[in-house]
Amino acid sequence: MATRSESIELPVEDERLAGTLLTPDTQMPGLLFVHGWGGSQERDLKRARGIAGLGCVCLTFDMRGHGDTLARQEGVTREDNLRDLVAAYDLLARHPAIDRDAIAVVGSSYGGYLAALLTSLRPVKWLGLRVPALYRDTEWNRPKRDLDRQDLQLYRHSPLTAADNRALAACAAFRGDVLIVESEHDQLIPHTTIMNYRSAFVRAHSLTHRIIDGADHALSEDICQQAYTSILVRWVTEMVIKSRVGSI
């Protein structure tokens, strides 16, 4: 959030003293949450309420094939959901209170993969990825539910670079701040995938990598949910404060 600076004079008796009046801009950072495949905005809502208290405008939403449109899930493609995410971003960016130069996107699993792709289509200052998934670039318009799960697991265990994958290429071009959160006992997203993402961020301004001990992919235990919330809130707080103080 920018800070406005105005030079003023303070009349004191026969003196006029120089001063500077600093006031916070009325615009606020924006934060867009992207849930994973088969999930919904429900868990994001709890975190969004807390982060909104930091002075951020937050948006959560249900992608096509989720929430009220769950019945349509079997026909939904990655292209469909990326378009959903772009539409959500554009809605958030149009909010009158938003500083368009201070937008964060936080995605989990499939949502993290889409969030990485979004950075090549829209300006993103901060990118949070929890257990981000990876998919082959091929069969982009094939319904996601029809993708070969066994092949996906083999792919995710393979060392990959930005030249091998569209999402990793977007990460390689990203110049903002990054948070990557890994689950110690993730049965879907192996450590190799996490390291593929981490290695791709060669131009990032900063990169924070955290591992939640004992956690599975879905953060099934309440203590793991709490640990992730704590990591995310601390990181967002640091980013927002740095943005505000750095503008003075």
Q: How far apart are CA 214 and CA 40, in angstroms?
A: 23
Tokens coding 111: 């949502």
pLDDT in tens, 76-90: 999 999 999 999 999
Per-residue pLDDT, 1: 44
Flag whether pLDDT at 110 surpasses 90.
yes
Per-residue pLDDT, 19: 80
The CB density around residue 183, as the number of other CB atoms within 10 Å, is: 26
Q: CB of 154 within 8 A of CB of 132?
A: no
Q: How far apart are the first and last CA of the chain?
A: 10
| Domain chopping of the chain, boundaries | 27-245
Flag whether pLDDT at 219 surpasses 90.
yes
Q: CB of 21 within 8 A of CB of 5?
A: yes
In 190-241, where do the E strands start and end? 206-212
Listed in sequence order, the residues at least 6 apart from 8 whose beta carbon sits closer than 8 Å to its beta carbon are: 18, 19, 20, 21
Q: How far apart are CA 90 and CA 110, in angstroms?
A: 20
Q: How far apart are CA 123 and CA 139, in angstroms?
A: 26
Flag whether pLDDT at 4 surpasses 70.
no
Per-residue pLDDT, 248: 43
What sign has the CA pseudo-torsion 145, 148, 150, 153? negative
Residue given tokens 């990203």 in the structure block: 174
Tokens coding 165: 């994958």
25: pLDDT confidence band, cut at 50, 70 and 90? low
User: Is pTM, for the whole model, over 0.95?
Assistant: no
pLDDT in tens, 32-89: 999 999 998 988 998 999 999 888 999 999 999 999 999 999 999 999 999 999 999 9
Q: Name the amino acid, one letter, at 196.
A: N
Residue 12: strand pairing partners: 15
The CB density around residue 187, as the number of other CB atoms within 10 Å, is: 10
Flag whether pLDDT at 2 surpasses 60.
no
Residue 103: strand pairing partners: 30
Listed in sequence order, the residues at least 6 apart from 241 whose beta carbon sits closer than 8 Å to its beta carbon are: none
**Reported CATH class of domain 27-245:** alpha beta
